[in-house]
A and B are shown apart, each in its own frame.
Chain A
């Protein structure tokens, strides 16, 4: 019989949907001068949902909704924690930036919440249609958010680009799903896995490639990464942060479930494995190499996030609980490392109106905290100990080497050392440059909290990774025993 236990499965989602609608109404009803209060309101509601989700992770049992349409396992809840934490940090660091926008309207925070809701649906989805609905909810929210600076041509251009490319990738994904449905007569992951059989057919091959392409667009896997730099550059900086961190993680959540539950050990497996190895290697190499000549911090972070997607793919290639654990661990620390970097970028862009790296000159003098947080975040992305990124990379690459893929580990380690080069160029500008004509930009309030929080978490997990590692293991084992 159909189990219809909404309370056990969907509480955070329902709460978030309700909150999004309430915020939308409030934004319409209150006068513009009172809208300053919406940021704390959103932050508090996110903190509430986040606390419930943390409780959910440790104490509520694994269960499903409507016969596996939607799963409540630790894997999904782990990703929900990740999305909510990312949304919270983005909201906290965005207060000043968003209020400066001339046509500031109330729905910004509402859209952040609907995007988060979409991601949560993707993480929990047990079948293709539910996953697709989550994906579209997230993506459509992002179309609006990317183009939010409506009087800025760059932002509008980014919005249109994202709309066109995003719609195309959705179409490709849908085509893949329809092929799967045609082959197996089901859209549920578990039934698809048994129905697709061990025999190789061109249709199943095409379907898998299309699904990989559709999700690969979201995680900016090479060769589907071309949108990332332009859109990251044009979008408002907090939105860029959210796009780079959470939407990527959401696509990974969906990809892990689809790939490991459905495609694994099927006819496609061997071909798919080779394909993934090649794509992940290309992603790491191109992402890192193309980041080197960038002069705009957002473009630099865009290419760096492409490279990071490559590292995360490595964990999927391992096809094991250890690999999934690596992805989960790395995705979480990626949130904090990237959020630290983006909080500083948002702050500088708000105070100085520029995203060029040369305008970070002398930041070590003008705002020591921001410079230190930026340095630590970038080095964590590069995987330098004692910051969290090192442990994360160690998990990923030891998992894949354990399966015998040594070559990709070489590429990964060497490329992360290459990445140190362009990260250090930013560090150099901040510490060496004088920046005499630039203003002092001290950090206050929620932005300061975001920076300090990300910084402390990045160092703390790097020094003592055990608590997060245990959560990641529990989550990985709820999916791949």
Chain B
């Protein structure tokens, strides 16, 4: 961990961050007709990032825990901003997830010919931005990276998106406005937190410093600040009732954006709630937990009901992702180490699953030019490989044992059943609806009699197989050997002082503050 560098840091994370960025710069200076070369360079950049983050994933010292591969450079001294990178058991799975999906998303867009140069430049900016939020240890830098992603997404949706139930311009603007209004309140909360932490001088944005100065935040302040964070991060994780951007946005967006957005970008909301909400403002988290739990149930059940009635494949998966985020929110509301473990694992599992299924839907749409469920059917006859990918994604979605999703959901219910019994049971009921709509789309799209109009379709092959192989492998690898993932997450949760934080919260309860 330690080295002879002046700042005593590791440059692994900046390299991971820099790889897609470098590819982006190379592409900027390439002629725009060289689409093949552009795709290869984009794939190389994301491959390097993926390989390095896999290395980090296995090189991370789990017995030691805490932030590793750290690098701290003072950036804006008068504000106390540090360019601080580092990963722990919470952020490292998210970093890996980003790069797995980023790499797959390049291949999911392999047939993109229309304005390919601009597309891949924006896609690489998007991947870099998402990655930056997870490796930042400084709130300011975290926010900076988070907001970088909003504008490329808008441009990508309006240019390469598809107009179905709503126009792509509408979908793009709705998504952007929801996220930006959420982030406006988040910014107020962030400034308030920053000022409260700097009351006795030494302004700082570092997450660990902010968490260490909890004695400076009064209970009312924590409640108010957590409320703002909940609104901001809640919109991002599509918490009911701020979720309606999500199905429209995913339906309008091009495949790669849907994959990244549903796969990782959303998870910034959950990650932020844990990292900033639970660790830094535990009293606020305790105060808002019942609200989060109630809204989470609305997420799980309401979104699942709506998913049942959808005709457009992307809308089904869009609502299903809203529904699954409800589990993450229940776990956060339960506020104990087991449930937080489950929340992080669930974010990882859902990310891989939704990216896989969105990429498969992308291929279906590319080949058949429709996503309307009644128009499709029997695709497994003509495209068996695509059907396999679709079914793996669907099975993971409904939490079949041996997929990583099963373990995550199980952990969440283990963690939350004692604290929130009613909500946990209602949440388990949600799985039934998930099974219904998932099996329905698999049956209606993949199976059934052979349809002659699809006979000329070619199965996915060559580069198109990459998302299926990469993401499918991860689903089963982490599902069959869960300790690969859970050992890391658990080391993050236990070593980061969550136990102590939660003790503080329970003491506050005994003290009659609530």
Bound-complex Cα distance A379 to B155 (A): 13
- Is chain B's binding surface mostly helix, strand, loop or mixed? helix
Q: A265-324: which residues lie under 8 A (CB-CB) from chain B?
A: none
Task: Given A431-B158, A432-B158, decide whether A398 and B150 contact each other with a Cβ distance below 8 A.
Answer: no
CB-based nearest B residue for A473? B78
Query: Does the CB pair A384–B147 fall under 8 Å?
Result: yes
Mark interface residues in A390-419 (1 if CB within 8 Å of B CB, else 0).
110011011001100010011001101100
Task: Given A413-B184, A470-B78, decide whether A428 and B169 contact each other with a Cβ distance below 8 A.
Answer: yes
- Interface residue A92 (Cβ < 8 Å from any Cβ of B): no
Mark interface residues in B142-160 (1 if CB within 8 Å of A CB, else 0).
0111011011001100110
Shortest CB distance B367–A (Å) = 26
CB-based nearest B residue for A472? B78
- Interface residue B185 (Cβ < 8 Å from any Cβ of A): yes
Bound-complex Cα distance A421 to B170 (A): 12
- Is chain A's binding surface mostly helix, strand, loop or mixed? helix
17 further A-B pairs in the complex, CB-CB below 8 A; given A410-B184, A413-B185, A427-B151:
A375-B151, A385-B148, A394-B191, A397-B187, A398-B191, A398-B194, A410-B185, A413-B188, A414-B184, A421-B173, A424-B173, A428-B158, A432-B169, A466-B77, A469-B79, A470-B78, A473-B78
Query: Does the CB pair A386–B148 fall under 8 Å?
Result: yes
- Interface residue A344 (Cβ < 8 Å from any Cβ of B): no
Q: B53-103: which residues lie under 8 A (CB-CB) from chain A?
A: 75-79
Bound-complex Cα distance A409 to B195 (A): 13
- Interface residue A420 (Cβ < 8 Å from any Cβ of B): yes
Query: Does the CB pair B144–A417 fall under 8 Å?
Result: no
- Interface residue A465 (Cβ < 8 Å from any Cβ of B): yes
Query: Does the CB pair B184–A364 fall under 8 Å?
Result: no
* Complex interface: chain A residues within 8 A of B78 (CB): 466, 469-470, 473
* Complex interface: chain B residues within 8 A of A416 (CB): 184
CB pairs A–B below 8 angstroms (6 shown): A385-B145, A390-B147, A398-B79, A410-B188, A413-B184, A421-B177
Q: B181-240: which residues lie under 8 A (CB-CB) from chain A?
A: 181, 183-185, 187-188, 191-192, 194-195
Query: Does the CB pair A390–B144 fall under 8 Å?
Result: yes
A432: which of B77, B150, B159, B187 is its contact (CB, 8 Å)?
Answer: B159
Q: A440-473: which residues lie under 8 A (CB-CB) from chain B?
A: 464-466, 469-470, 473
Mark interface residues in A70-107 (1 if CB within 8 Å of B CB, else 0).
00000000000000000000000000000000000000
Query: Does the CB pair A417–B184 fall under 8 Å?
Result: yes
* Complex interface: chain B residues within 8 A of A469 (CB): 76, 78-79
* Complex interface: chain B residues within 8 A of A413 (CB): 184-185, 187-188
Shortest CB distance A361–B (Å) = 13
Bound-complex Cα distance A465 to B79 (A): 10
Residues in chain B within 8 A of chain A (CB atoms): 75-79, 118, 140, 143-145, 147-148, 150-151, 154-155, 158-159, 169, 173, 176-177, 180-181, 183-185, 187-188, 191-192, 194-195
Shortest CB distance A385–B (Å) = 4
Query: Does the CB pair B195–A402 fall under 8 Å?
Result: yes
Query: Does the CB pair B183–A417 fall under 8 Å?
Result: yes
Shortest CB distance B190–A (Å) = 9
Query: Does the CB pair A386–B159 fall under 8 Å?
Result: no
Query: Does the CB pair B173–A364 fall under 8 Å?
Result: no
Mark interface residues in A342-373 (1 if CB within 8 Å of B CB, else 0).
00000000000000000000001000000000
* Complex interface: chain B residues within 8 A of A431 (CB): 155, 158-159
Query: Does the CB pair A406–B192 fall under 8 Å?
Result: yes
Task: Given A379-B151, A431-B159, decide whether A385 and B76 contact each other with a Cβ distance below 8 A.
Answer: no
Shortest CB distance B384–A (Å) = 38
Query: Does the CB pair B181–A417 fall under 8 Å?
Result: yes
Shortest CB distance A100–B (Å) = 31
CB-based nearest B residue for A398? B191
Query: Does the CB pair A409–B147 fall under 8 Å?
Result: no
* Complex interface: chain A residues within 8 A of B145 (CB): 385
Query: Does the CB pair A385–B188 fall under 8 Å?
Result: no
* Complex interface: chain B residues within 8 A of A466 (CB): 75-78
Bound-complex Cα distance A406 to B193 (A): 12
Bound-complex Cα distance A169 to B194 (A): 41
* Complex interface: chain A residues within 8 A of B192 (CB): 401, 406
Bound-complex Cα distance A401 to B188 (A): 9
Bound-complex Cα distance A196 to B459 (A): 85
Closest 10 CB pairs of A and B: A417-B180, A413-B184, A385-B144, A417-B184, A385-B147, A414-B184, A413-B187, A398-B191, A432-B158, A401-B191
Bound-complex Cα distance A413 to B155 (A): 22
Bound-complex Cα distance A391 to B187 (A): 12
Shortest CB distance B464–A (Å) = 27
CB-based nearest A residue for B194? A398
Bound-complex Cα distance A409 to B176 (A): 21
* Complex interface: chain B residues within 8 A of A402 (CB): 195
Bound-complex Cα distance A416 to B185 (A): 12
Query: Does the CB pair A420–B176 fall under 8 Å?
Result: yes
- Which of B144, B158, B177 is packed against the most chain A CB atoms within 10 Å? B144
Shortest CB distance B425–A (Å) = 39
Shortest CB distance A415–B (Å) = 8
Shortest CB distance B225–A (Å) = 11
* Complex interface: chain A residues within 8 A of B177 (CB): 417, 420-421
Shortest CB distance B24–A (Å) = 13
Shortest CB distance B1–A (Å) = 27
- Which of B169, B176, B187, B191 is packed against the most chain A CB atoms within 10 Å? B187
* Complex interface: chain A residues within 8 A of B187 (CB): 397, 413
Query: Does the CB pair A427–B188 fall under 8 Å?
Result: no
Bound-complex Cα distance A466 to B82 (A): 11
CB-based nearest B residue for A364? B118
* Complex interface: chain B residues within 8 A of A428 (CB): 158, 169
